């Protein structure tokens, strides 16, 4: 059914130099398997498409024509994928070993024993080889509200004596986690298709959380391979701080709305709306950004949109 082993899908949005380095690292370090590289470009204006075509003619490029977001762009890439496995890789990631082969081998061996694995990832490192965020706990209304309260406490009192990392937790000995961050997500194509891919209602952020929550509901495990490392530089295509934060919080609302009962969502919405109000009085944010932020909050008051 599938003509190659792994389809590597990269979403690009004005990250020309990072994307080129990412592709180069894949070609330099990936051996022993048949793979293809698919880049879905979200209407970059930095010459990404032309540069990729010139330097790496073997790469398949899909021009989305507009910025359709992370999840939809990956779904678009999957439509052209010929691999048994899908490897969703951020454009700001750099391979430093034969990581894809190791993930492929692990999945193949586990599939010969059982079919309980939904996705695998690995340890992500920053540019100085320090451990980066590789996995997280599934967010809950309580955790998100608590994190926002602690964030306000730290900002009001200008201190960091209270940690904001309330959603982090220690990996267990089997490598099982709630969800793997979307920077490196290795999934069986058939599983991804059976789950209908990424939910396109998430423009950016939380799409991988939602996908793996649905895996969890089907008792499919998410595994981190502790002996595999990839460098993740983070934030390569992030735009203005408040604009990015608006999209993040919007996705947060959508996630809670989707996975929790209506009355819990409404209580969560009420508390979060109150906690988010101080952002509207931040003098560093433009009036336009504040208006967009306020519209987002008001829009999410409707529980069925």
Assigned domain for 208 exists: yes
Assigned domain for 92 exists: yes
Total number of domains constituting the chain: 2
Q: How confident is the model at residue 242 (pLDDT cuts 50, 70, 90)?
A: low
Are 131 and 123 in contact, with CB atoms under 8 Å apart? yes
Percent of the chain surpassing pLDDT 90: 74
The pLDDT of residue 285: 74
How does the average pLDDT of the chain come out, rounded? Answer: 90
Assigned domain for 151 exists: no
Query: Does an H or E element contain 136, and which?
Result: strand 135-136
CATH number of residue 93's parent domain: 3.90.550.10
Assigned domain for 107 exists: yes
Are 198 and 211 in contact, with CB atoms under 8 Å apart? yes
For the cut 50, the answer to whether the pLDDT of residue 122 exceeds it is yes
Same domain, 227 and 250: no
Assigned domain for 153 exists: no
Same domain, 93 and 209: yes
Instruction: Give the count of beta carbons closer than 10 Å to the beta carbon of residue 4.
Output: 14
Same domain, 115 and 192: yes
| Rounded mean pLDDT, 137-160 | 85
Q: How confident is the model at residue 162 (pLDDT cuts 50, 70, 90)?
A: low
- DSSP string for residues in 199-236: -TT-SSSSHHHHHHHHHHHTT-EEEEEEEEEEEE---T
The pLDDT of residue 164: 46
The pLDDT of residue 166: 42
Same domain, 123 and 211: yes
For the cut 50, the answer to whether the pLDDT of residue 167 exceeds it is no
* Domain residue limits at 14: 4-135+178-232
Each residue's pLDDT tens digit, 3-39? 999 999 999 999 999 999 999 999 999 999 999 999 9
């Amino acid at each position: 059914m599938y003509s190659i082993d792994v389809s590597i899908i990269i979403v690009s949005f004005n990250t020309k130099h990072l994307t080129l380095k990412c592709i180069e690292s894949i070609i330099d370090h990936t051996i022993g398997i048949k793979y293809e590289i698919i880049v879905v470009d979200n209407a970059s204006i930095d010459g990404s498409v032309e540069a990729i075509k010139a330097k790496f003619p073997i790469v398949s490029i899909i021009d989305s024509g507009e910025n359709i977001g992370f999840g939809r762009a990956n779904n678009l890439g999957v439509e052209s994928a010929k691999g048994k496995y899908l490897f969703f890789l951020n454009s700001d990631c750099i391979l430093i070993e034969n990581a894809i082969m190791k993930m492929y081998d692990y999945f193949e061996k586990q599939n010969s024993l059982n079919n309980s694995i939904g996705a695998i990832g690995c340890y992500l490192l920053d540019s100085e080889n320090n451990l980066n965020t590789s996995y997280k706990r599934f967010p809950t209304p309580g955790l998100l509200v608590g994190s926002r309260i602690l964030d306000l406490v730290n900002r009001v009192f200008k201190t960091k004596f209270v940690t904001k990392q309330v959603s982090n937790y220690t990996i267990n000995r089997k490598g099982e986690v709630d969800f793997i961050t979307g920077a490196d997500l290795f999934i069986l194509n058939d599983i991804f298709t059976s789950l209908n891919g990424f939910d396109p209602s998430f423009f950016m952020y939380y799409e991988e959380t939602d996908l793996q929550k649905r895996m969890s509901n089907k008792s499919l495990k998410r595994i981190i391979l502790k002996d595999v490392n990839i460098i993740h530089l983070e934030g390569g295509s992030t735009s203005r701080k408040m604009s990015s934060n608006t999209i993040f919080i919007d996705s947060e609302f959508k996630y809670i709305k989707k996975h929790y009962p209506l009355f819990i969502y409404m209580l969560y919405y009420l508390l979060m709306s109150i906690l988010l109000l101080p952002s509207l009085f931040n003098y560093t944010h433009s009036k336009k950004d504040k208006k967009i932020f306020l519209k987002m909050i008001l829009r999410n008051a409707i529980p069925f949109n």
